[in-house]
Amino acid sequence: MRSAARGVALFVALLATATPAQEPQAQEQRRTDLEPKHGAALPLEARFVDEFGRDRPLRDWFDGNRPVLLTLNYYRCPMLCTKQLDAFVDGGDGPRYDGTPGGLRSLPTAPGEGYVVLTVSFDPLETHELAARKKKSYVGAVDRPGTEKGWHFLTGEKPAIDALCDAVGFHYAWVGEEYAHPPAVIACTPDGRVSDYAVGYNYDRATLVRLITRAAARKTTPAKAAPATTPGAPPRTTPAWLLPTAIALGLATFAAALVLIRRSRRG
């Protein structure tokens, strides 16, 4: 009987550790992925500070004529934001190494000529001085006349940041010693609605042209299926193989316990 009890207890314990619903840590994790919201309106009255220290509504960067390419980053990011913005400039690892034209440098016109680029920090502790330094670095990397007039780097307070991130479906969280977040370029229509997304670290010329063209035409449906989960999402805390393995092991243990019970009764 003791063997049977131990077998049942082991079976229950394995199921408890294998079922995601029983993991309080997983339930407490904040999302750090991208939730596509095509057609959603941006909070144009939310106020941000530009690289010159001027407090302005988001509406100021939407003139009703030019689409906007939006990236959400933070300027002190030790790795992933730099990787994404570098890729946004030169195309990323794919175009860089296979010879495919990519990034802002590959487009026929510079930022400001037919489209606007906005990079907004989602860290409310960052300042416009830091934004100005980041702008100087990336405008220099694009190395095209007029880019400084068409690529703007903003900071803001948490309510404005949260309103913008919620509107475009951008989820981020502080993990360890840095923010976890998805890498994405978000195309917005001239009147401030979400048009489409490019997710990841590779931005070939065809992708950027498609984003700009569709946003300029005020299209707000995805050109192709957008991923439900993107890089930056929290990893699974329970391996996919654990539940079936636990069930099989538990059943085997339970069967062995029944055999022992029958033998003890015969004895």
14 and 57 fall within a common domain: no
200 and 131 fall within a common domain: yes
The pLDDT tens digits along the chain (267 residues) read 544 445 444 444 444 444 443 333 333 457 889 999 999 999 999 999 999 999 999 999 999 999 999 999 999 998 899 999 999 999 988 787 788 899 999 999 999 999 999 999 999 999 999 999 999 999 999 999 999 999 999 999 999 999 999 999 999 999 988 999 999 999 999 999 999 999 999 999 999 999 999 999 999 998 864 444 444 444 333 344 334 444 444 555 555 555 554 555 555
In a domain, residue 6? The reply is yes
Question: Token pair of 25, please?
Answer: 């840590």
47 and 120 fall within a common domain: yes
Tallying the residues shown for the chain, one arrives at 267
Q: Quickly tell me which residue has 């997304």 as its tokens.
A: 197
In a domain, residue 230? The reply is no
109 and 211 fall within a common domain: yes
In a domain, residue 162? The reply is yes
16 and 38 fall within a common domain: no
Range of the domain at 14: 2-27+236-266
CA 227 to CA 181: how far, in whole Å? 15
122 and 247 fall within a common domain: no
DSSP state letters, 185-241: EEEE-TTSBEEEEEESSB-BHHHHHHHHHHHHTT--S-SSPPPSS-TTPPPPSS-TT
Confidence (pLDDT) at 241: 37
Q: What is the CATH number of the domain that holds 97?
A: 3.40.30.10
E-only strand ranges, 146-188: 151-154, 173-175, 178-180, 184-188
Tell me the β-bridge partners of 178. Answer: 175
Confidence (pLDDT) at 100: 87
Confidence (pLDDT) at 252: 52
In a domain, residue 222? The reply is no
In a domain, residue 224? The reply is no
240 and 161 fall within a common domain: no
